[in-house]
Every structure is written in structure tokens, then in C-alpha cells.
Amino acid sequence: MDDLFKAMQNARHCIVLTGAGVSTLSGIRDFRGKNGLYKEKNAEKIFDIDCFNRDPSIYYNAARVFIYEREEKKPSIVHNVLAQLEQLSLIKAVITQNIDSLHRKAGTVALIEIHGSLAVHYCPRCTHAPPMELKEVIDIVQSGSLPRCPLCNTVIRPAITFFGENLPVKALRDAQYEAEHADLMVVLGTSLTVNPAAALPEITLRHGGSIAIINEGATPFDRFAAFRFDDLQTVFEYIAQKISSRFSTPQ
């Protein structure tokens, strides 16, 4: 872990790629872990755009118990330490596959949300309707109803990338740019099995950079990793101690 922290300090352009495993420490279920969402029957339909277009209640009814909860999720130690590392200029950008906005809540500024964000919900048909705030959507979904456009009554949708949709062009372009210029990419809490996000470490390696992987399960890139750890919390508790001891202001 000390070698990893030194590598991050010495890197010219260190970036981070995060997946669902980062947010499990905040009480959000991941997708492909041992207790992941995809262990449940028909779970793949929840984030399928064709299913949403045919019947949006499939998404909202399922997401009520793990996305649209009244209790607000808080950033974990990983989110908070990454924001600190950015403030210390030790990382240049965070690329996330997550849609929960926890990186933003923690204070990360150079954030690329390649799968979009739940912070915005909008009408897919009516271009004149203002976006609906997440809190209002939560209240509606928790009441058992579907959130609808106030102008045309169409069920609104979250500004996330469903399976079957293309990723946001700008976000993907920005992520690829960061991967190309990184001399160290730190991969956190992702199985690296879903493209195009899973291809980003390959871009870094192809351009002469190194990768570090911290993930509970195996990934296809483990054999290429300069550093490989399983326990996110332990590693980031260590990094938090390093930050506190090396960068704290003397009294």
C-alpha cells in the first residue's frame, strides 16, 4: 500500500476509474458482486432501455428499494479520500460508472460520469418541461406512483445510460482523453467486464501507463496490474492516514 501511495505521488497524470464496488461502502448494492443486484431474477430488465420504453414501471418499482430511498446515502471513505487527493493535486480526474452522484457530494470537481447521473430526471418527449428534482422524484416513487411530465404526462426518465443506449459522447471522449494521458490509472470497485468503460485501462496500458486495481473480485486486467488489492476500505484508510501525516498543517 505504501508503494501504491508513492506511485500516486510520483505520477505525472494519475486518474481514477470507479465502479459500483466503491458505493457499497455507502450502503448501495453493486451489480455483479456476491450479493449484487444481478443475482436476482430478471434484474437485467431494470436498466434495459427497451423495457423502460415499453413499461417504465418495471424500472421505478424495482429501483424504489435501492435507488429512490428516502434516506440519503452519504459518501464513503473512498469518495472522501478521492476528493482530498484531487485537492492535493495527486489525481487529475475521476471517471465513474456510478450514477449515484456520491463523488460530487464528496467534493470531486474533475468528475466524468460516463453513465450519467440520477441527479437529473427529464421528459423524453417534451423538450419544454424543466427537469424534475431528485427529491421530488423520490417522493413520487415512494408513494407508489410514476413521475410524470407536468406538460404532457409522459413518464419522465433519469439522465442515465440504460443498456441499449450509447454513452454520452462528451463524457466518453473526455474519459478516453484522460486514459490516453494517464501514466497511472487506479481502478476501484469494478469488475471491468462492461464496455466501453472496461476498455479504458487498456488505453492507458497501450499508451505506456500503468494500472492499479483494487476490487473484491477478479478482473480481466489483473495480470497487467502493477498493484493489486482486494479490500478498498483497508487501502483507503491507509491512504487517509498518509494524507493526514504528510499533508496536515503543523499547529
Overall pTM > 0.85: yes
The DSSP H or E segment spanning 160 is: strand 157-160
Question: Could you say which DSSP state residue 48 is in?
Answer: B
Instruction: Name the β-bridge partners of 186.
Output: 16, 212
How far is 183 from 8, CA to CA, in rounded Å?
10
Known active-site residue 103: no
Q: How confident is the model over 66-117, as pLDDT tens digits?
A: 888 878 789 999 999 999 999 999 999 999 999 999 999 999 999 999 999 9
Q: How confident is the model over 34-75, as pLDDT tens digits?
A: 555 555 556 678 889 999 999 999 999 988 888 888 787 899
Q: Delimit the CATH 3.30.1600.10 region(s) of the chain.
A: 29-72+117-160
More confident residue, 164 or 205: 205
Cα–Cα–Cα angle for 189, 220, 6, rounded to 5 degrees: 55
Question: Could you say which DSSP state residue 244 is in?
Answer: H
Q: H helices of the chain, where?
A: 2-10, 20-23, 49-54, 57-63, 77-87, 102-106, 134-142, 169-181, 200-206, 232-247
- What confidence tier does 251 reach under pLDDT thresholds 50, 70, 90? very low
Q: Are strands 93-96 and 210-214 parallel, antiparallel or unpaired?
A: unpaired
Q: What is the architecture, at CATH level 2, of domain 29-72+117-160? A: 2-Layer Sandwich (3.30)
Mean pLDDT over the full length of the chain? 90
CATH 3.40.640.10 assigned to 1-27+75-115+167-251 = no
The dihedrals phi and psi of 16, each to the nearest 5 degrees, come to -130, 140
Cα–Cα–Cα angle for 6, 179, 89, rounded to 5 degrees: 40
- Give residue 31's pLDDT: 60
- What confidence tier does 124 reach under pLDDT thresholds 50, 70, 90? very high
State the average pLDDT over residues 144-167.
Answer: 93
Q: Which of 13, 79, 103, 115 is catalytic?
A: 115
Q: Delimit the CATH 3.40.50.1220 region(s) of the chain.
A: 1-27+75-115+167-251
CA distances from 62 to 34, 45, 122 (A): 19, 10, 19
